[in-house]
Structure 1
Amino acid sequence: MPARLPSWAWVTGLTTGAIAVVAVLGVQADQGARPTASTSRPSTPATADAKPSAEPKEKETGTGAGAGADASAVPADSGTGRRVVYSLDTQQVWLVDASDAPRRSFEVWPGTVAPDPGTYTIGTRTEATTGSDGVDVEHIVYFAVKSGVSIAFSNAVDGSSPPPAEGRSTGGIRVAKADGEALWTFGTTGTTVRVVE
């Protein structure tokens, strides 16, 4: 009668196999060049007093669905390589891969403090907290500070897109829940964020 393996041997073997699979997937996900962020910023200031509307324009998710090619086209002056592109004028974000192909685009609802156009790098990431406007948010991806206000992408836990609280300086750039999850996965620490007009 063949000897039976003890249960600890099975558990050890399965754990080792799972770690190997996770390591392989991590290496595959990290393939592709990541550009080095520039520290220079254009001298044109962004307006900090613009108020977003409570209702977004027609939302675009993906690389061409929705209203047309203009909204899904990555801005020409947004750099190259793997990056997050944020347009202040259109209140639109693109997740762009290392081959300069847009992988996802979506509309956002900015706070009252806007980042200046320029190139930034994602620094701190926080899974969940309460925003400065009192809304519970998750998938917070910080990339800039202006006038002492931290600027970050996030989504409301309940999926809402409320306008910023009256009289408060808020740097939260709100996204829809599914877009927040996609940005959280794509926007790892060190990822370039390119802000354009």
Structure 2
Amino acid sequence: MPAKSSTIVTALTAAALVAVGVLGYQASASAPDTLAPARKDGSHGSTAPKNPGREKDRPRPVAVPTGSGEGRRVVYALGAKRVWLVGADGNAIRTFQVAPSTVSPPAGSYAVTSRSVSITGSDGIAIEHVVRFASVDGAVIGFSAAVDGSMPKPDPSKRTGGIRESRDDGKAMWEFALRGSKVVVVS
């Protein structure tokens, strides 16, 4: 007995819905968690200081390391244990301290190779906003934030490549460092 056309249409529709679901999941795994809301006035932010009377009390921003290249990039200074998210104009958009891993990448230029929204780190801690950019002798190197907000000191007896950052800094890194983004490691 030949299959009814309604059965064939139902099967094809179900297959299409499954395919769309899989593609949607794959896209969400590489997309930022949130997008910045658009401002109604069309501006990108205020140039006026938020606390005008406290301007002199603020610490001076740490300059982007010289010799770290040009253009939009992530700069990771091994000795300073600090990261800069640098805009196309060469100015730091954000800078923050990190807790380095037991395995460090050599100084040089890299590109973001992969990203994961959330996984378990090689140290057994749940992490999020993982941005990988290098591999050294089998240890994958990348930035991540512990879901519990901790920045544990890595066990020197274990080879780990996770460079830990705060959850806020991890989210900023996630939104900035898309796959293929330049990462420059300096001493």
C-alpha contact (below 8 Å) 2:102/2:161 kept by paired residues: yes
Structure 1: where are the runs of 5+ without partners? Answer: 1-24, 26-64
Select the structure of larger CA radius of gyration: 2
Q: Which residue of 2 aligns with 1:162?
A: 152
Q: TM-score by structure 2 length?
A: 0.68
Q: Which residue of 1 aligns with 2:103?
A: 113
* Segment drifting more, 164-173 vs 174-183: 164-173
How much has 1:78 moved relative to structure 2?
Answer: 0.2
Alignment partner of 1:76 out of 62, 66, 69: 66
How much has 1:68 moved relative to structure 2?
Answer: 3.0
- Is residue 96 from structure 1 mapped to residue 86 from structure 2 by the alignment? yes
Question: Could you list the per-position Cα deviations for residues 167-192 of structure 1 after superposition, in whole angstroms to 9, with x for gaps in the alignment?
Answer: 21000000011000000000001100
Q: Matched residues in 2 for 1:184 and 1:132: separation?
A: 19
Alignment of 1:20-35 (within 5 A): none
User: Alignment RMSD, CA only?
Assistant: 1.9
Q: Matched residues in 1 for 2:120 and 2:130: separation?
A: 10
**3-state DSSP class of the match of 2:101?**
coil
Q: Matched residues in 2 for 1:108 and 1:97: separation?
A: 20
Q: Matched residues in 1 for 2:136 and 2:113: separation?
A: 15
Q: Which residue of 2 aligns with 1:173?
A: 163
Identity of aligned residues (%): 48
Q: Matched residues in 2 for 1:111 and 1:66: separation?
A: 30
Q: TM-score by structure 1 length?
A: 0.65
- Equivalent residues, number: 134
For residue 95 of structure 1, what is the amino acid of its counterpart?
Answer: L
For residue 194 of structure 1, what is the amino acid of its counterpart?
Answer: V
Q: Which residue of 1 aligns with 2:112?
A: 122
Q: Which residue of 2 aligns with 1:135?
A: 125
**3-state DSSP class of the match of 1:95?**
strand
Q: Which residue of 1 aligns with 2:184?
A: 194
How much has 1:101 moved relative to structure 2?
Answer: 1.0
How much has 1:164 moved relative to structure 2?
Answer: 1.0
